[in-house]
Structure 1
Protein backbone atom coordinates (compact mmCIF):
# COMPACT_ATOMS: atom_id res chain seq x y z
CA UNK A 1 0.00 0.00 0.00
CA UNK A 2 1.48 3.34 -1.01
CA UNK A 3 -1.17 5.59 0.46
CA UNK A 4 0.13 8.67 2.28
CA UNK A 5 0.34 8.35 6.04
CA UNK A 6 -1.12 11.78 6.62
CA UNK A 7 -4.44 11.69 4.77
CA UNK A 8 -5.44 15.15 5.96
CA UNK A 9 -2.42 16.83 4.38
CA UNK A 10 -3.14 14.94 1.17
CA UNK A 11 -6.75 16.14 1.22
CA UNK A 12 -5.56 19.68 1.93
CA UNK A 13 -3.20 19.56 -1.04
CA UNK A 14 -6.01 18.31 -3.28
CA UNK A 15 -8.33 21.10 -2.12
CA UNK A 16 -5.61 23.71 -2.69
CA UNK A 17 -4.94 22.46 -6.20
CA UNK A 18 -8.66 22.43 -6.96
CA UNK A 19 -8.97 25.98 -5.60
CA UNK A 20 -6.10 27.10 -7.82
CA UNK A 21 -7.73 25.37 -10.79
CA UNK A 22 -11.07 27.05 -10.01
CA UNK A 23 -9.38 30.44 -9.68
CA UNK A 24 -7.79 29.90 -13.09
CA UNK A 25 -11.15 29.10 -14.70
CA UNK A 26 -12.73 32.14 -13.02
CA UNK A 27 -10.00 34.36 -14.46
CA UNK A 28 -10.59 32.90 -17.91
CA UNK A 29 -14.34 33.52 -17.61
CA UNK A 30 -13.71 37.10 -16.53
CA UNK A 31 -11.62 37.73 -19.61
CA UNK A 32 -14.44 36.38 -21.77
CA UNK A 33 -12.33 33.88 -23.68
CA UNK A 34 -14.22 30.72 -22.73
CA UNK A 35 -17.52 31.85 -21.27
CA UNK A 36 -19.52 28.75 -22.29
CA UNK A 37 -16.90 26.23 -21.24
CA UNK A 38 -16.19 27.69 -17.79
CA UNK A 39 -19.75 27.21 -16.49
CA UNK A 40 -19.95 23.60 -17.62
CA UNK A 41 -16.44 22.82 -16.41
CA UNK A 42 -16.99 24.23 -12.92
CA UNK A 43 -20.26 22.32 -12.48
CA UNK A 44 -18.81 19.09 -13.83
CA UNK A 45 -15.58 19.69 -11.93
CA UNK A 46 -17.28 19.89 -8.54
CA UNK A 47 -19.57 16.95 -9.24
CA UNK A 48 -16.73 14.81 -10.55
CA UNK A 49 -14.48 15.76 -7.61
CA UNK A 50 -17.24 14.91 -5.15
CA UNK A 51 -17.91 11.59 -6.87
CA UNK A 52 -14.20 10.77 -6.95
CA UNK A 53 -13.92 11.49 -3.23
CA UNK A 54 -16.91 9.31 -2.43
CA UNK A 55 -15.53 6.53 -4.63
CA UNK A 56 -12.18 6.76 -2.84
CA UNK A 57 -13.90 6.50 0.57
CA UNK A 58 -15.93 3.54 -0.63
CA UNK A 59 -12.83 1.88 -2.05
CA UNK A 60 -10.97 2.28 1.24
CA UNK A 61 -13.90 0.72 3.10
CA UNK A 62 -14.10 -2.18 0.66
CA UNK A 63 -10.34 -2.77 0.92
CA UNK A 64 -10.52 -2.78 4.71
CA UNK A 65 -13.43 -5.22 4.71
CA UNK A 66 -11.64 -7.48 2.23
CA UNK A 67 -8.47 -7.54 4.32
CA UNK A 68 -10.50 -8.17 7.46
CA UNK A 69 -12.20 -11.17 5.87
CA UNK A 70 -8.87 -12.46 4.54
CA UNK A 71 -7.34 -12.19 8.02
CA UNK A 72 -10.32 -14.00 9.58
CA UNK A 73 -9.90 -16.81 7.05
CA UNK A 74 -6.24 -17.13 7.98
CA UNK A 75 -4.52 -15.73 4.89
CA UNK A 76 -0.76 -15.80 5.48
CA UNK A 77 -0.03 -12.54 3.63
CA UNK A 78 -2.38 -10.36 5.76
CA UNK A 79 -1.24 -9.24 9.20
CA UNK A 80 -3.36 -7.82 11.99
CA UNK A 81 -1.42 -4.55 11.78
CA UNK A 82 -2.39 -4.07 8.12
CA UNK A 83 -6.03 -4.82 8.89
CA UNK A 84 -6.17 -2.34 11.78
CA UNK A 85 -4.39 0.41 9.84
CA UNK A 86 -6.70 -0.01 6.84
CA UNK A 87 -9.78 -0.03 9.09
CA UNK A 88 -8.62 3.23 10.69
CA UNK A 89 -7.92 4.79 7.27
CA UNK A 90 -11.42 3.84 6.15
CA UNK A 91 -12.89 5.27 9.35
CA UNK A 92 -11.00 8.56 9.00
CA UNK A 93 -12.09 8.83 5.37
CA UNK A 94 -15.70 8.18 6.32
CA UNK A 95 -15.59 10.79 9.11
CA UNK A 96 -14.02 13.29 6.70
CA UNK A 97 -16.77 12.65 4.15
CA UNK A 98 -19.41 12.98 6.84
CA UNK A 99 -18.05 16.36 7.92
CA UNK A 100 -17.97 17.57 4.31
CA UNK A 101 -21.59 16.47 3.91
CA UNK A 102 -22.55 18.31 7.11
CA UNK A 103 -20.87 21.50 5.88
CA UNK A 104 -22.64 21.24 2.51
CA UNK A 105 -26.02 20.75 4.20
CA UNK A 106 -25.35 23.66 6.54
CA UNK A 107 -24.38 25.92 3.61
CA UNK A 108 -27.49 24.84 1.71
CA UNK A 109 -29.70 25.64 4.71
CA UNK A 110 -28.03 29.04 5.11
CA UNK A 111 -28.64 29.86 1.46
CA UNK A 112 -32.26 28.72 1.64
CA UNK A 113 -32.89 30.92 4.68
CA UNK A 114 -31.60 34.05 2.97
CA UNK A 115 -34.24 36.60 2.11
CA UNK A 116 -34.39 37.61 -1.52
Structure 2
Protein backbone atom coordinates (compact mmCIF):
# COMPACT_ATOMS: atom_id res chain seq x y z
CA UNK A 1 0.00 0.00 0.00
CA UNK A 2 2.98 2.32 0.51
CA UNK A 3 3.72 2.05 -3.22
CA UNK A 4 0.34 3.58 -4.00
CA UNK A 5 0.95 6.37 -1.50
CA UNK A 6 4.34 7.07 -3.03
CA UNK A 7 2.87 7.21 -6.52
CA UNK A 8 0.05 9.51 -5.41
CA UNK A 9 2.53 11.83 -3.73
CA UNK A 10 4.58 11.86 -6.94
CA UNK A 11 1.49 12.81 -8.95
CA UNK A 12 0.72 15.58 -6.47
CA UNK A 13 4.30 16.75 -6.81
CA UNK A 14 3.99 16.88 -10.59
CA UNK A 15 0.70 18.69 -10.25
CA UNK A 16 2.25 21.36 -8.04
CA UNK A 17 5.29 21.67 -10.34
CA UNK A 18 3.17 22.52 -13.35
CA UNK A 19 1.03 24.98 -11.44
CA UNK A 20 -2.32 23.25 -11.39
CA UNK A 21 -4.65 23.41 -8.48
CA UNK A 22 -6.08 20.49 -6.62
CA UNK A 23 -9.13 20.56 -4.43
CA UNK A 24 -9.26 23.74 -2.41
CA UNK A 25 -9.93 23.67 1.30
CA UNK A 26 -13.41 24.58 2.44
CA UNK A 27 -13.79 28.28 3.19
CA UNK A 28 -13.51 29.28 6.83
CA UNK A 29 -16.96 30.38 8.06
CA UNK A 30 -15.29 32.58 10.71
CA UNK A 31 -13.14 34.46 8.20
CA UNK A 32 -13.78 38.16 7.77
CA UNK A 33 -15.12 39.08 4.34
CA UNK A 34 -14.23 42.62 3.28
CA UNK A 35 -16.84 42.73 0.54
CA UNK A 36 -14.67 41.13 -2.11
CA UNK A 37 -15.82 37.99 -3.81
CA UNK A 38 -13.20 35.32 -4.10
CA UNK A 39 -12.90 34.01 -7.64
CA UNK A 40 -14.68 30.73 -8.13
CA UNK A 41 -12.13 27.93 -8.22
CA UNK A 42 -13.15 24.86 -10.14
CA UNK A 43 -11.66 21.77 -8.53
CA UNK A 44 -9.53 19.74 -10.88
CA UNK A 45 -11.18 16.57 -12.09
CA UNK A 46 -9.44 13.22 -12.02
CA UNK A 47 -9.00 13.33 -15.79
CA UNK A 48 -7.45 16.79 -15.68
CA UNK A 49 -5.12 15.77 -12.87
CA UNK A 50 -4.04 12.67 -14.75
CA UNK A 51 -3.55 14.63 -17.98
CA UNK A 52 -1.48 17.27 -16.18
CA UNK A 53 0.65 14.56 -14.57
CA UNK A 54 1.26 12.98 -17.97
CA UNK A 55 2.19 16.35 -19.44
CA UNK A 56 4.58 16.88 -16.55
CA UNK A 57 6.26 13.52 -17.21
CA UNK A 58 6.46 14.37 -20.91
CA UNK A 59 8.09 17.72 -20.10
CA UNK A 60 10.62 16.06 -17.80
CA UNK A 61 11.50 13.57 -20.54
CA UNK A 62 11.86 16.33 -23.14
CA UNK A 63 14.13 18.35 -20.84
CA UNK A 64 16.22 15.27 -20.12
CA UNK A 65 16.57 14.53 -23.84
CA UNK A 66 17.49 18.13 -24.63
CA UNK A 67 20.10 18.17 -21.86
CA UNK A 68 21.58 14.87 -23.06
CA UNK A 69 21.74 16.20 -26.62
CA UNK A 70 23.41 19.39 -25.42
CA UNK A 71 26.00 17.29 -23.56
CA UNK A 72 26.63 15.20 -26.67
CA UNK A 73 27.14 18.36 -28.72
CA UNK A 74 29.71 19.63 -26.20
CA UNK A 75 27.73 22.41 -24.53
CA UNK A 76 29.80 23.46 -21.48
CA UNK A 77 26.63 24.21 -19.47
CA UNK A 78 25.51 20.57 -19.73
CA UNK A 79 27.83 18.68 -17.42
CA UNK A 80 27.62 14.92 -16.98
CA UNK A 81 26.21 15.08 -13.45
CA UNK A 82 23.24 17.21 -14.55
CA UNK A 83 22.59 14.91 -17.51
CA UNK A 84 22.62 11.82 -15.31
CA UNK A 85 20.35 13.37 -12.69
CA UNK A 86 17.89 14.51 -15.37
CA UNK A 87 17.91 11.03 -16.93
CA UNK A 88 17.20 9.43 -13.55
CA UNK A 89 14.38 11.87 -12.83
CA UNK A 90 12.89 11.09 -16.21
CA UNK A 91 13.16 7.37 -15.61
CA UNK A 92 11.56 7.56 -12.16
CA UNK A 93 8.72 9.73 -13.46
CA UNK A 94 8.05 7.31 -16.31
CA UNK A 95 8.09 4.28 -14.01
CA UNK A 96 5.66 5.99 -11.64
CA UNK A 97 3.37 6.76 -14.58
CA UNK A 98 3.45 3.15 -15.75
CA UNK A 99 2.71 1.96 -12.22
CA UNK A 100 -0.28 4.30 -11.95
CA UNK A 101 -1.53 3.03 -15.30
CA UNK A 102 -1.17 -0.57 -14.14
CA UNK A 103 -3.10 0.18 -10.95
CA UNK A 104 -5.86 1.90 -12.91
CA UNK A 105 -6.16 -1.04 -15.29
CA UNK A 106 -6.28 -3.45 -12.36
CA UNK A 107 -8.96 -1.37 -10.63
CA UNK A 108 -10.99 -1.28 -13.86
CA UNK A 109 -10.71 -5.04 -14.25
CA UNK A 110 -11.75 -5.56 -10.62
CA UNK A 111 -14.83 -3.39 -11.13
CA UNK A 112 -15.74 -5.14 -14.38
CA UNK A 113 -15.45 -8.57 -12.71
CA UNK A 114 -17.75 -7.66 -9.82
CA UNK A 115 -20.92 -9.74 -9.73
CA UNK A 116 -24.18 -7.88 -10.21
Post-superposition offset of 1:62? 0.5
Q: TM-score, normalised by structure 1?
A: 0.66
Structure 1: gaps (5+ residues)? 1-7, 25-40
Q: TM-score, normalised by structure 2?
A: 0.66
Question: Which one scores higher on RCO, CA 8 angstroms, separation ≥ 6?
Answer: 2
More helix per residue: 1 or 2?
A: 1
Structure 2: gaps (5+ residues)? 1-5, 14-21, 27-41
Deviations 1:36-94 (A, max 9, x none): xxxxx67x611110000000000000000000000000001110000000000000000
Runs of 4 or more off by more than 2 Å in structure 1?
8-15, 20-24
For residue 64 of structure 2, what is the aligned residue in structure 1? Answer: 64
Provide the C-alpha distance between the structure 2 equivalents of 1:113 and 1:10, rounded to a whole number of angstroms. 25
Over aligned residue pairs, what C-alpha RMSD do you find? 3.0
Post-superposition offset of 1:10? 8.8
For residue 94 of structure 2, what is the aligned residue in structure 1? Answer: 94
